[in-house]
Amino acid sequence: MSSPTKPINVIVIGAGFAGLSTAISCHRAGLNVTIYERAPALQPLGDIISFGRNAGLIFARWDRALVDEMLPLSIDLRHHGFRIHKYTGEHVTTQHSVPRDMEAPTINGHRGELHLVLVRYVTERLGVELRLGCEVVSCFEGTPDGEGRAGIELASGEKVYGDVVIGCDGVHSKARELVLGHETKLQSSGYAIFRAWFDNKDIIADPLTRHLCENGDTFNGWIGPDVHFLVSSLKGGKDVCWVLTHKDDSNITDRWSFPGKLADVYKIFEGWDPICRRIVSKTPEDSLIDWKLIWQDPLPTWVSKGGHIALAGDSAHAFLPTSTQGATQALEDGVTIATCLKWAGRERIPEALRAFEKIRYDRVCKVQETGKTTRERWHKASWDEVERNPKSLELPREDWILGHDAEGHAEEMCERIFGDRSGNMRGESKI
Ligand SMILES: Cc1cc2nc3c(=O)[nH]c(=O)nc-3n(C[C@H](O)[C@H](O)[C@H](O)COP(=O)(O)OP(=O)(O)OC[C@H]3O[C@@H](n4cnc5c(N)ncnc54)[C@H](O)[C@@H]3O)c2cc1C
Protein backbone atom coordinates (compact mmCIF):
# COMPACT_ATOMS: atom_id res chain seq x y z
CA MET A 1 0.00 0.00 0.00
CA SER A 2 1.20 3.52 -0.72
CA SER A 3 3.04 5.24 2.10
CA PRO A 4 1.13 8.00 3.88
CA THR A 5 2.20 11.29 2.28
CA LYS A 6 0.05 14.29 1.46
CA PRO A 7 -3.53 13.04 1.08
CA ILE A 8 -5.01 12.87 -2.39
CA ASN A 9 -7.52 15.63 -3.14
CA VAL A 10 -10.44 14.15 -5.03
CA ILE A 11 -12.98 16.30 -6.88
CA VAL A 12 -16.24 14.51 -7.60
CA ILE A 13 -18.67 15.94 -10.17
CA GLY A 14 -22.27 14.96 -9.40
CA ALA A 15 -24.01 13.67 -6.29
CA GLY A 16 -25.89 10.73 -7.82
CA PHE A 17 -25.14 7.21 -6.61
CA ALA A 18 -21.81 7.10 -8.47
CA GLY A 19 -20.67 10.38 -6.92
CA LEU A 20 -21.82 9.44 -3.43
CA SER A 21 -20.19 6.02 -3.62
CA THR A 22 -16.93 7.56 -4.81
CA ALA A 23 -17.07 10.13 -2.01
CA ILE A 24 -17.88 7.63 0.75
CA SER A 25 -15.25 5.17 -0.44
CA CYS A 26 -12.56 7.86 -0.83
CA HIS A 27 -13.37 9.20 2.63
CA ARG A 28 -13.08 5.69 4.10
CA ALA A 29 -9.71 5.33 2.35
CA GLY A 30 -8.44 8.49 4.05
CA LEU A 31 -8.55 10.74 0.96
CA ASN A 32 -9.84 14.33 0.89
CA VAL A 33 -12.99 14.55 -1.16
CA THR A 34 -15.45 17.28 -2.19
CA ILE A 35 -18.56 16.80 -4.31
CA TYR A 36 -19.80 19.48 -6.73
CA GLU A 37 -23.47 19.07 -7.65
CA ARG A 38 -25.40 21.14 -10.17
CA ALA A 39 -28.80 20.92 -8.41
CA PRO A 40 -29.36 23.75 -5.93
CA ALA A 41 -31.14 21.34 -3.55
CA LEU A 42 -31.48 17.57 -3.53
CA GLN A 43 -35.15 16.58 -3.76
CA PRO A 44 -36.45 13.00 -3.50
CA LEU A 45 -36.75 12.66 -7.30
CA GLY A 46 -37.50 9.62 -9.42
CA ASP A 47 -39.32 6.42 -8.60
CA ILE A 48 -38.30 2.77 -8.46
CA ILE A 49 -34.60 1.87 -8.41
CA SER A 50 -32.94 -1.48 -7.76
CA PHE A 51 -29.88 -2.39 -5.76
CA GLY A 52 -28.82 -6.01 -6.05
CA ARG A 53 -27.13 -7.83 -3.19
CA ASN A 54 -23.76 -6.81 -4.64
CA ALA A 55 -24.85 -3.26 -3.69
CA GLY A 56 -26.25 -4.42 -0.33
CA LEU A 57 -22.81 -5.78 0.51
CA ILE A 58 -21.33 -2.35 -0.15
CA PHE A 59 -23.95 -0.52 1.95
CA ALA A 60 -23.61 -2.98 4.84
CA ARG A 61 -19.84 -2.69 4.81
CA TRP A 62 -20.01 1.10 4.84
CA ASP A 63 -22.38 1.07 7.79
CA ARG A 64 -25.04 -1.37 8.98
CA ALA A 65 -27.10 1.65 10.09
CA LEU A 66 -27.54 2.51 6.40
CA VAL A 67 -29.10 -0.88 5.75
CA ASP A 68 -31.36 -0.46 8.79
CA GLU A 69 -32.55 2.84 7.38
CA MET A 70 -32.97 1.62 3.80
CA LEU A 71 -34.74 -1.70 4.36
CA PRO A 72 -38.03 -0.18 5.60
CA LEU A 73 -38.08 1.88 2.39
CA SER A 74 -37.48 -1.20 0.25
CA ILE A 75 -40.02 -3.65 -1.15
CA ASP A 76 -40.36 -6.78 0.98
CA LEU A 77 -41.40 -9.75 -1.14
CA ARG A 78 -40.73 -12.54 1.33
CA HIS A 79 -44.45 -13.42 1.37
CA HIS A 80 -45.52 -12.53 -2.16
CA GLY A 81 -42.60 -13.16 -4.51
CA PHE A 82 -42.68 -11.98 -8.13
CA ARG A 83 -45.86 -13.16 -9.90
CA ILE A 84 -45.39 -13.32 -13.65
CA HIS A 85 -48.35 -13.35 -16.07
CA LYS A 86 -48.88 -13.59 -19.78
CA TYR A 87 -50.23 -10.26 -21.07
CA THR A 88 -53.64 -11.84 -21.58
CA GLY A 89 -53.83 -12.58 -17.86
CA GLU A 90 -52.79 -16.22 -17.30
CA HIS A 91 -50.48 -16.70 -14.33
CA VAL A 92 -47.23 -18.23 -15.59
CA THR A 93 -45.03 -18.63 -12.54
CA THR A 94 -44.13 -17.13 -9.17
CA GLN A 95 -40.49 -16.43 -8.51
CA HIS A 96 -39.87 -16.70 -4.79
CA SER A 97 -37.61 -14.31 -2.95
CA VAL A 98 -34.31 -15.44 -1.55
CA PRO A 99 -34.00 -15.24 2.25
CA ARG A 100 -32.92 -11.80 3.43
CA ASP A 101 -29.18 -11.51 4.07
CA MET A 102 -28.39 -8.59 6.36
CA GLU A 103 -24.75 -8.67 5.23
CA ALA A 104 -25.78 -8.21 1.59
CA PRO A 105 -29.47 -7.30 1.30
CA THR A 106 -31.32 -6.60 -1.93
CA ILE A 107 -32.87 -3.13 -1.78
CA ASN A 108 -35.52 -1.92 -4.24
CA GLY A 109 -37.28 1.31 -3.43
CA HIS A 110 -37.88 4.93 -4.32
CA ARG A 111 -34.75 6.41 -5.86
CA GLY A 112 -35.19 9.77 -4.18
CA GLU A 113 -35.83 8.35 -0.72
CA LEU A 114 -32.84 5.99 -0.86
CA HIS A 115 -30.70 8.72 -2.37
CA LEU A 116 -31.47 11.10 0.49
CA VAL A 117 -30.48 8.44 3.04
CA LEU A 118 -27.03 8.34 1.42
CA VAL A 119 -26.82 12.12 1.05
CA ARG A 120 -27.46 12.55 4.79
CA TYR A 121 -24.89 9.88 5.56
CA VAL A 122 -22.26 11.61 3.42
CA THR A 123 -22.84 15.11 4.73
CA GLU A 124 -24.02 14.63 8.32
CA ARG A 125 -22.35 11.40 9.37
CA LEU A 126 -19.08 11.57 7.43
CA GLY A 127 -18.87 15.35 7.15
CA VAL A 128 -17.90 15.21 3.47
CA GLU A 129 -18.34 18.57 1.76
CA LEU A 130 -21.17 18.56 -0.78
CA ARG A 131 -21.41 21.85 -2.67
CA LEU A 132 -24.87 22.30 -4.16
CA GLY A 133 -25.76 24.68 -6.97
CA CYS A 134 -22.31 24.16 -8.52
CA GLU A 135 -22.64 23.39 -12.20
CA VAL A 136 -19.36 22.18 -13.64
CA VAL A 137 -18.84 23.67 -17.10
CA SER A 138 -15.45 22.18 -17.86
CA CYS A 139 -12.68 20.13 -16.35
CA PHE A 140 -9.00 20.23 -17.17
CA GLU A 141 -5.67 18.56 -16.52
CA GLY A 142 -2.55 20.41 -15.49
CA THR A 143 -2.74 23.59 -13.39
CA PRO A 144 -0.76 26.82 -13.74
CA ASP A 145 1.15 26.44 -10.45
CA GLY A 146 1.71 22.71 -10.90
CA GLU A 147 0.22 22.22 -7.43
CA GLY A 148 -2.94 20.46 -8.52
CA ARG A 149 -2.99 17.96 -11.35
CA ALA A 150 -6.56 18.45 -12.49
CA GLY A 151 -9.48 20.71 -11.83
CA ILE A 152 -12.92 21.94 -12.69
CA GLU A 153 -14.47 25.22 -13.68
CA LEU A 154 -17.88 26.11 -12.30
CA ALA A 155 -20.59 28.13 -14.05
CA SER A 156 -19.80 30.94 -11.60
CA GLY A 157 -16.30 31.16 -13.10
CA GLU A 158 -14.66 29.69 -9.98
CA LYS A 159 -11.84 27.23 -10.67
CA VAL A 160 -11.11 24.41 -8.26
CA TYR A 161 -7.87 22.41 -8.33
CA GLY A 162 -7.23 18.92 -7.06
CA ASP A 163 -5.22 15.78 -7.78
CA VAL A 164 -7.95 13.88 -9.52
CA VAL A 165 -11.40 14.57 -10.96
CA ILE A 166 -14.07 11.88 -11.11
CA GLY A 167 -16.90 12.69 -13.51
CA CYS A 168 -20.06 11.19 -12.01
CA ASP A 169 -22.30 13.55 -13.93
CA GLY A 170 -24.72 11.06 -15.44
CA VAL A 171 -25.71 10.16 -18.99
CA HIS A 172 -25.33 13.74 -20.26
CA SER A 173 -21.84 14.05 -18.86
CA LYS A 174 -19.61 17.07 -19.48
CA ALA A 175 -16.58 15.19 -18.23
CA ARG A 176 -17.05 12.56 -20.94
CA GLU A 177 -16.35 15.10 -23.64
CA LEU A 178 -13.04 15.98 -22.07
CA VAL A 179 -12.00 12.39 -21.45
CA LEU A 180 -12.75 11.35 -25.02
CA GLY A 181 -11.74 14.59 -26.70
CA HIS A 182 -15.03 14.79 -28.59
CA GLU A 183 -18.79 14.86 -28.02
CA THR A 184 -20.63 11.55 -27.92
CA LYS A 185 -24.07 11.03 -29.33
CA LEU A 186 -26.51 9.12 -27.17
CA GLN A 187 -28.59 6.58 -29.03
CA SER A 188 -32.17 5.60 -28.46
CA SER A 189 -32.40 1.99 -27.31
CA GLY A 190 -35.62 1.76 -29.35
CA TYR A 191 -37.64 1.59 -26.13
CA ALA A 192 -39.20 3.94 -23.60
CA ILE A 193 -40.84 3.50 -20.22
CA PHE A 194 -44.02 4.99 -18.89
CA ARG A 195 -43.48 5.13 -15.12
CA ALA A 196 -45.47 6.30 -12.13
CA TRP A 197 -45.36 6.29 -8.31
CA PHE A 198 -48.36 7.25 -6.16
CA ASP A 199 -50.08 6.44 -2.87
CA ASN A 200 -52.42 3.45 -2.58
CA LYS A 201 -55.64 5.40 -1.89
CA ASP A 202 -57.50 4.62 -5.13
CA ILE A 203 -56.01 1.16 -5.58
CA ILE A 204 -57.18 0.05 -2.15
CA ALA A 205 -60.64 1.58 -2.64
CA ASP A 206 -61.31 -0.68 -5.66
CA PRO A 207 -62.20 -4.33 -4.87
CA LEU A 208 -60.53 -5.39 -8.13
CA THR A 209 -57.14 -3.90 -7.30
CA ARG A 210 -57.20 -3.91 -3.48
CA HIS A 211 -55.25 -7.20 -3.28
CA LEU A 212 -52.18 -5.36 -4.62
CA CYS A 213 -51.85 -3.41 -1.36
CA GLU A 214 -54.05 -4.70 1.44
CA ASN A 215 -51.71 -7.43 2.73
CA GLY A 216 -48.38 -5.69 2.36
CA ASP A 217 -45.95 -5.49 -0.54
CA THR A 218 -46.57 -7.21 -3.88
CA PHE A 219 -44.82 -7.47 -7.23
CA ASN A 220 -46.58 -8.52 -10.45
CA GLY A 221 -45.43 -8.56 -14.05
CA TRP A 222 -47.31 -8.97 -17.36
CA ILE A 223 -45.22 -9.95 -20.37
CA GLY A 224 -46.38 -9.25 -23.92
CA PRO A 225 -44.96 -8.93 -27.43
CA ASP A 226 -42.32 -6.22 -27.19
CA VAL A 227 -43.86 -4.85 -23.98
CA HIS A 228 -43.67 -5.57 -20.28
CA PHE A 229 -45.62 -4.08 -17.39
CA LEU A 230 -44.35 -4.33 -13.82
CA VAL A 231 -46.42 -3.26 -10.82
CA SER A 232 -45.23 -3.15 -7.24
CA SER A 233 -46.57 -1.97 -3.92
CA LEU A 234 -44.06 -0.93 -1.27
CA LYS A 235 -43.70 0.15 2.34
CA GLY A 236 -46.34 -2.29 3.58
CA GLY A 237 -48.47 -1.67 0.49
CA LYS A 238 -48.69 2.07 1.20
CA ASP A 239 -47.15 3.21 -2.10
CA VAL A 240 -47.71 1.88 -5.63
CA CYS A 241 -45.35 1.99 -8.54
CA TRP A 242 -45.57 0.71 -12.08
CA VAL A 243 -43.38 0.75 -15.17
CA LEU A 244 -44.40 -0.09 -18.72
CA THR A 245 -41.57 -0.71 -21.17
CA HIS A 246 -42.58 -0.45 -24.82
CA LYS A 247 -41.18 0.27 -28.30
CA ASP A 248 -40.35 3.91 -28.95
CA ASP A 249 -38.13 5.19 -31.72
CA SER A 250 -38.12 8.88 -30.77
CA ASN A 251 -34.88 10.70 -31.26
CA ILE A 252 -32.89 11.22 -28.07
CA THR A 253 -31.84 14.82 -27.71
CA ASP A 254 -30.73 16.60 -24.58
CA ARG A 255 -34.11 15.70 -23.07
CA TRP A 256 -35.24 12.18 -22.40
CA SER A 257 -37.87 12.55 -19.68
CA PHE A 258 -41.31 14.05 -20.40
CA PRO A 259 -44.72 14.22 -18.74
CA GLY A 260 -46.70 11.16 -19.87
CA LYS A 261 -50.33 10.84 -21.00
CA LEU A 262 -52.59 8.07 -19.69
CA ALA A 263 -54.32 7.88 -23.09
CA ASP A 264 -51.00 6.76 -24.64
CA VAL A 265 -50.65 4.03 -22.03
CA TYR A 266 -54.17 2.70 -22.67
CA LYS A 267 -53.37 2.31 -26.39
CA ILE A 268 -50.62 -0.18 -25.52
CA PHE A 269 -53.04 -2.25 -23.44
CA GLU A 270 -55.41 -3.19 -26.27
CA GLY A 271 -56.01 -6.95 -25.97
CA TRP A 272 -54.39 -7.12 -22.51
CA ASP A 273 -55.60 -8.45 -19.17
CA PRO A 274 -58.17 -5.77 -18.11
CA ILE A 275 -56.56 -5.50 -14.67
CA CYS A 276 -53.60 -3.69 -16.26
CA ARG A 277 -55.77 -0.87 -17.52
CA ARG A 278 -57.61 -0.81 -14.18
CA ILE A 279 -54.34 -0.34 -12.26
CA VAL A 280 -53.21 2.41 -14.59
CA SER A 281 -56.58 4.17 -14.25
CA LYS A 282 -55.73 4.85 -10.56
CA THR A 283 -52.64 6.83 -11.56
CA PRO A 284 -52.73 10.60 -11.04
CA GLU A 285 -51.79 11.84 -14.51
CA ASP A 286 -49.31 14.35 -13.10
CA SER A 287 -47.24 11.50 -11.64
CA LEU A 288 -46.82 9.82 -15.06
CA ILE A 289 -43.42 10.09 -16.74
CA ASP A 290 -42.52 9.17 -20.30
CA TRP A 291 -38.84 8.23 -19.99
CA LYS A 292 -36.89 7.45 -23.17
CA LEU A 293 -34.34 4.69 -22.72
CA ILE A 294 -30.83 5.43 -23.85
CA TRP A 295 -28.29 2.95 -25.14
CA GLN A 296 -24.65 3.78 -25.37
CA ASP A 297 -22.08 1.46 -26.87
CA PRO A 298 -19.09 0.97 -24.58
CA LEU A 299 -16.75 3.98 -24.67
CA PRO A 300 -13.18 3.36 -25.84
CA THR A 301 -11.90 4.55 -22.47
CA TRP A 302 -13.08 6.05 -19.18
CA VAL A 303 -9.79 7.79 -18.40
CA SER A 304 -8.37 11.04 -19.82
CA LYS A 305 -5.08 11.14 -21.75
CA GLY A 306 -3.20 12.67 -18.84
CA GLY A 307 -4.68 10.12 -16.44
CA HIS A 308 -6.10 12.54 -13.86
CA ILE A 309 -9.76 12.48 -14.87
CA ALA A 310 -12.01 9.42 -14.94
CA LEU A 311 -15.67 8.74 -15.58
CA ALA A 312 -17.86 6.66 -13.29
CA GLY A 313 -21.48 5.53 -13.23
CA ASP A 314 -23.80 6.55 -16.06
CA SER A 315 -21.31 9.01 -17.53
CA ALA A 316 -19.08 6.01 -18.34
CA HIS A 317 -21.80 3.46 -19.07
CA ALA A 318 -25.58 3.85 -19.26
CA PHE A 319 -27.67 0.81 -18.30
CA LEU A 320 -31.08 -0.38 -19.42
CA PRO A 321 -33.46 -0.83 -16.46
CA THR A 322 -33.98 -4.51 -17.35
CA SER A 323 -30.42 -5.17 -16.15
CA THR A 324 -31.57 -3.85 -12.71
CA GLN A 325 -27.87 -3.05 -12.17
CA GLY A 326 -27.31 0.59 -13.26
CA ALA A 327 -27.14 2.08 -9.79
CA THR A 328 -25.33 -0.93 -8.35
CA GLN A 329 -22.61 -0.76 -10.99
CA ALA A 330 -22.25 2.95 -10.20
CA LEU A 331 -21.60 2.01 -6.56
CA GLU A 332 -19.07 -0.61 -7.59
CA ASP A 333 -17.22 2.01 -9.67
CA GLY A 334 -16.87 4.33 -6.68
CA VAL A 335 -15.59 1.59 -4.41
CA THR A 336 -13.04 0.51 -7.02
CA ILE A 337 -11.77 4.03 -7.73
CA ALA A 338 -11.09 4.64 -4.03
CA THR A 339 -9.31 1.31 -3.64
CA CYS A 340 -7.08 2.00 -6.64
CA LEU A 341 -6.22 5.52 -5.46
CA LYS A 342 -5.43 4.23 -1.98
CA TRP A 343 -3.05 1.58 -3.28
CA ALA A 344 -1.37 3.69 -5.95
CA GLY A 345 -0.92 6.84 -3.87
CA ARG A 346 -0.69 10.47 -4.88
CA GLU A 347 2.30 10.00 -7.16
CA ARG A 348 0.65 7.36 -9.30
CA ILE A 349 -2.81 8.68 -10.00
CA PRO A 350 -2.79 7.85 -13.75
CA GLU A 351 -1.86 4.28 -12.88
CA ALA A 352 -4.66 4.19 -10.31
CA LEU A 353 -7.30 5.37 -12.78
CA ARG A 354 -6.09 2.99 -15.48
CA ALA A 355 -6.21 0.17 -12.94
CA PHE A 356 -9.81 1.17 -12.13
CA GLU A 357 -10.71 0.91 -15.80
CA LYS A 358 -8.90 -2.38 -16.19
CA ILE A 359 -10.64 -3.89 -13.15
CA ARG A 360 -14.12 -2.71 -14.12
CA TYR A 361 -14.38 -2.47 -17.90
CA ASP A 362 -15.16 -6.04 -18.98
CA ARG A 363 -17.48 -6.69 -16.07
CA VAL A 364 -19.49 -3.53 -16.72
CA CYS A 365 -19.85 -4.30 -20.45
CA LYS A 366 -21.03 -7.84 -19.67
CA VAL A 367 -23.57 -6.66 -17.09
CA GLN A 368 -24.78 -3.94 -19.49
CA GLU A 369 -25.63 -6.61 -22.07
CA THR A 370 -27.95 -8.39 -19.60
CA GLY A 371 -30.31 -5.42 -19.95
CA LYS A 372 -30.88 -6.48 -23.55
CA THR A 373 -30.98 -10.22 -22.96
CA THR A 374 -33.59 -10.07 -20.19
CA ARG A 375 -35.74 -7.69 -22.24
CA GLU A 376 -35.52 -9.94 -25.30
CA ARG A 377 -36.33 -13.06 -23.26
CA TRP A 378 -39.54 -11.36 -22.15
CA HIS A 379 -40.46 -9.43 -25.28
CA LYS A 380 -39.79 -12.27 -27.72
CA ALA A 381 -41.10 -15.05 -25.46
CA SER A 382 -42.31 -18.12 -27.30
CA TRP A 383 -45.42 -19.07 -25.34
CA ASP A 384 -45.14 -22.76 -26.31
CA GLU A 385 -41.65 -22.77 -24.86
CA VAL A 386 -42.84 -20.86 -21.75
CA GLU A 387 -45.54 -23.49 -21.22
CA ARG A 388 -42.83 -26.16 -21.14
CA ASN A 389 -40.52 -24.06 -18.96
CA PRO A 390 -42.38 -21.27 -17.09
CA LYS A 391 -39.28 -20.46 -15.06
CA SER A 392 -37.61 -19.18 -18.22
CA LEU A 393 -39.44 -15.90 -17.58
CA GLU A 394 -38.03 -15.44 -14.08
CA LEU A 395 -35.67 -12.54 -13.45
CA PRO A 396 -32.13 -13.86 -13.73
CA ARG A 397 -30.19 -14.04 -10.46
CA GLU A 398 -26.69 -14.70 -11.66
CA ASP A 399 -24.04 -15.23 -9.07
CA TRP A 400 -21.25 -13.63 -11.14
CA ILE A 401 -23.26 -10.40 -10.95
CA LEU A 402 -24.95 -10.53 -7.55
CA GLY A 403 -22.30 -12.46 -5.64
CA HIS A 404 -19.53 -10.05 -6.62
CA ASP A 405 -17.55 -8.33 -3.88
CA ALA A 406 -16.33 -5.16 -5.63
CA GLU A 407 -14.11 -4.02 -2.79
CA GLY A 408 -12.59 -7.46 -2.19
CA HIS A 409 -11.93 -7.87 -5.89
CA ALA A 410 -10.38 -4.40 -6.22
CA GLU A 411 -8.14 -5.03 -3.19
CA GLU A 412 -6.96 -8.30 -4.70
CA MET A 413 -6.28 -6.75 -8.10
CA CYS A 414 -4.51 -3.73 -6.58
CA GLU A 415 -2.32 -5.96 -4.49
CA ARG A 416 -1.20 -7.66 -7.70
CA ILE A 417 -0.78 -4.39 -9.55
CA PHE A 418 0.67 -2.08 -6.91
CA GLY A 419 2.20 -3.98 -4.04
CA ASP A 420 1.54 -6.42 -1.26
CA ARG A 421 -0.48 -6.32 1.93
CA SER A 422 2.59 -5.71 4.07
CA GLY A 423 2.69 -2.19 2.65
CA ASN A 424 5.68 -2.77 0.34
CA MET A 425 5.50 -1.21 -3.08
CA ARG A 426 6.47 -3.46 -5.93
CA GLY A 427 8.27 -0.69 -7.78
CA GLU A 428 6.97 -0.50 -11.34
CA SER A 429 3.21 -0.88 -11.45
CA LYS A 430 1.85 -3.20 -14.07
CA ILE A 431 -0.56 -0.75 -15.66
C1 LIG B 1 -33.21 13.28 -10.96
C2 LIG B 1 -32.93 11.86 -11.32
C3 LIG B 1 -33.96 10.92 -11.22
C4 LIG B 1 -33.72 9.59 -11.54
N5 LIG B 1 -34.72 8.67 -11.38
C6 LIG B 1 -34.47 7.38 -11.59
C7 LIG B 1 -35.46 6.39 -11.32
O8 LIG B 1 -36.55 6.70 -10.91
N9 LIG B 1 -35.15 5.08 -11.53
C10 LIG B 1 -33.92 4.69 -11.99
O11 LIG B 1 -33.68 3.50 -12.16
N12 LIG B 1 -32.96 5.61 -12.25
C13 LIG B 1 -33.20 6.93 -12.06
N14 LIG B 1 -32.22 7.85 -12.30
C15 LIG B 1 -30.93 7.39 -12.86
C16 LIG B 1 -30.11 6.66 -11.82
O17 LIG B 1 -30.01 7.40 -10.65
C18 LIG B 1 -28.76 6.37 -12.43
O19 LIG B 1 -28.96 5.67 -13.63
C20 LIG B 1 -27.85 5.48 -11.59
O21 LIG B 1 -28.13 5.57 -10.23
C22 LIG B 1 -26.37 5.86 -11.83
O23 LIG B 1 -26.12 7.06 -11.12
P24 LIG B 1 -25.10 8.17 -11.56
O25 LIG B 1 -24.64 8.78 -10.27
O26 LIG B 1 -24.09 7.67 -12.49
O27 LIG B 1 -25.97 9.22 -12.39
P28 LIG B 1 -27.15 10.18 -11.93
O29 LIG B 1 -28.03 9.53 -10.93
O30 LIG B 1 -27.78 10.67 -13.18
O31 LIG B 1 -26.41 11.39 -11.19
C32 LIG B 1 -25.68 12.38 -11.87
C33 LIG B 1 -25.60 13.60 -10.99
O34 LIG B 1 -24.71 14.55 -11.58
C35 LIG B 1 -25.29 15.83 -11.54
N36 LIG B 1 -24.73 16.62 -12.64
C37 LIG B 1 -24.94 16.44 -13.97
N38 LIG B 1 -24.23 17.33 -14.68
C39 LIG B 1 -23.55 18.09 -13.80
C40 LIG B 1 -22.65 19.18 -13.92
N41 LIG B 1 -22.31 19.67 -15.12
N42 LIG B 1 -22.13 19.73 -12.79
C43 LIG B 1 -22.45 19.24 -11.56
N44 LIG B 1 -23.33 18.21 -11.39
C45 LIG B 1 -23.86 17.63 -12.48
C46 LIG B 1 -26.78 15.57 -11.67
O47 LIG B 1 -27.56 16.65 -11.19
C48 LIG B 1 -26.94 14.30 -10.84
O49 LIG B 1 -27.17 14.58 -9.48
C50 LIG B 1 -32.42 9.19 -12.00
C51 LIG B 1 -31.40 10.14 -12.12
C52 LIG B 1 -31.63 11.46 -11.77
C53 LIG B 1 -30.50 12.47 -11.87
Going by C-alpha positions, the residue among 269, 259, 203, 260 that lies closest to residue 233 is 203
Ligand 1 midpoint to CA 16 (Å) = 5
Q: What is the mean pLDDT of residues 354-374?
A: 95
Say how far apart CA 140 and CA 428 lie, in whole Å: 27
In this structure, are strands 257-259 and 239-247 parallel, antiparallel, or unpaired? unpaired
Instruction: Determine if ligand 1 sits within 6 Å of the CB of residue 302.
Output: no
pLDDT, one tens digit per residue, over 236-287 is 999 999 999 999 988 776 667 889 999 999 999 999 999 999 999 999 999 9
Question: What angle is formed at CA 71 by the lines to CA 171 and CA 47, rounded to 5 degrees?
Answer: 35
Instruction: Determine if ligand 1 sits within 6 Å of the CB of residue 216.
Output: no
The atom number, within ligand 1, closest to the CA of 134 reads: 43
Q: Set out the domains of the chain in order of their start, with CATH numbers.
A: 9-79+101-184+297-380+397-418 (3.50.50.60), 187-295 (3.30.9.30)
Probe residue for ligand 1, chosen from 25, 38, 136, 191 as the CB with the greatest number of ligand atoms within 8 Å: 38
Q: Whose CA is nearest to atom 6 of ligand 1?
A: 46
Q: What is the mean pLDDT of residues 51-69?
A: 98
Probe residue for ligand 1, chosen from 11, 24, 37, 51 as the CB with the greatest number of ligand atoms within 8 Å: 37
Say how far apart CA 340 and CA 413 lie, in whole Å: 9
Q: What is the mean pLDDT of the chain?
A: 93
Q: What is the mean pLDDT of residues 160-179?
A: 93
The atom number, within ligand 1, closest to the CA of 50 reads: 11
Instruction: Determine if ligand 1 sits within 6 Å of the CB of residue 320.
Output: no
Say how far apart CA 425 and CA 13 lie, in whole Å: 30
Residue-level pLDDT at 43? 87
pLDDT tops 90 at residue 185: no
